[in-house]
Amino acid sequence: MFISSFLEYLKCEKNYSNHTILAYKTDLISFRDFCITEFNQENITSIHYNQIRSWIVSMVNQEISNRTINRKISTLKTFYKFLQKTGGVKINPLAKHKALKAEKKVQVPFTKNEVKNVINCIDVEDDSFTNIRNKLIVELFYSTGMRRIELVDLKVKDINIYDKTIKVLGKRNKERYVPLLPSVLETLNNYLVLRKQCVVENEENLLITLKGVKIYETLVYRIIISYFSGVSTKVKKSPHILRHTFATHLLNQGADLNSVKELLGHSSLAATQVYTHNSLEQLKKVFNKAHPRSEKTK
């Protein structure tokens, strides 16, 4: 009952996406099942911190990463905050909990040449529907910085050819408008012509499969992996790395942090600052090259 009410709250009040709500639900059910198995206790509103700590220990023993454990505990903490507000509990058992230390992952972006090589590679292949669609996917990721789910959920009506913009529906149903480069518009126009030949009637989504229906996230992931594996030796290749590449390249070219924040759809600058690591390295090179005091003494 409490879990259902909480998930409804996330959907109606917080405007969380279905993907995010499912993640919360999975974490809560996992914790509830643990409590039933270990303590024969299904009602998680009367849980104590020691029992939660046992869950944490069990996850550590399963070699689940600290980052993942922290995310699951964050779900639990948010759940108990909701119960406090609605009178389900008087005290949040996680009020004084400190997150486990998690190693910060440095996301290595693709280079300009790697992205250019992928686009050039697609250009010389053929003019088939699949090829043009895949090229559009790569260009949209790199030129807008949108998330994978945002790309999958794009509608044809979100494209404004005249204003040269695209409307992106981000987290919590927050809309943002991102400009489209001329090269992307060209690919988009070519794709829309081919799309008419494949699309199932009344399909509103922009990106579709050969069967004419909405494209899905795993296919998008496979497309990015397939193309970038041929040009890059980086360990991680994913749509998120293209998003990271978009932000890093903009910052390297002098874009201000606030503008990048708006383009990415972040709610705070703190989230955008994650992408400044590589741009700072670029700034150091420029600084050392340009500053008078950095000149080598003869």
pTM: 0.70
pLDDT of 109 reads 87
Helix/strand/coil for 208: strand
Residue 288 pLDDT more than 50? Answer: yes
Domain ranges across the chain = 2-86, 112-287
Q: What is the pLDDT of residue 273?
A: 75
- Environment class of residue 119 by beta-carbon count within 10 Å: exposed (0-12), middle (13-18) or buried (19+)? middle
Lookup: tokens for 228: 């970038």
Mean pLDDT of 235-245: 88
Instruction: Decide if 237 is catalytic.
Output: no
* The pair of three-digit structure tokens given for residue 214, joined into one six-digit string: 């909405």
174 is catalytic: no
Cβ pair 286, 254 in contact under 8 A? no
Determine the number of helices (DSSP H) and then strands (DSSP E) in the chain: 13, 3
Read off the pLDDT band of 237 (50, 70, 90).
confident
Q: Is 249 a catalytic residue?
A: no
CA distance linking residue 203 with residue 201, whole number of Å: 6
pLDDT at 196 over 90: yes
Query: What is the predicted pLDDT for the residue at 230?
Result: 85
237 close to 228: Cβ distance less than 8 angstroms: yes
Asked if residue 233 has pLDDT above 80, the reply is no
Answer whether residue 113 shows pLDDT above 70.
Answer: yes
Confidence check: pLDDT of 170 > 50: yes
Reply yes or no on whether 240 is catalytic.
yes
**What integer is the mean pLDDT of 123-133?**
87
| Residue-level pLDDT at 298 | 41
pLDDT of residue 297: 42
CATH of 112-287, one of 3.90.1150.10, 1.10.443.10, 3.40.50.720, 3.30.300.210: 1.10.443.10
Residue (of 221, 266, 298, 274) closest to 108 by Cα position: 274
Q: What is the pLDDT of residue 280?
A: 54
The residues facing 150 across adjacent strands are none
pLDDT, position 279: 54
Catalytic hit among 11, 25, 77, 171: 171
Q: Is 266 a catalytic residue?
A: yes
**Catalytic-labelled residue, pool 14, 97, 240, 277:** 240
CA distance linking residue 66 with residue 112, whole number of Å: 33
**Per-residue pLDDT tens for 6-29?**
999 998 888 888 888 999 999 999
Residue 19 catalytic?
no
Dist. CA 40–CA 9, nearest whole Å? 28
Q: What is the mean pLDDT of residues 164-170?
A: 94
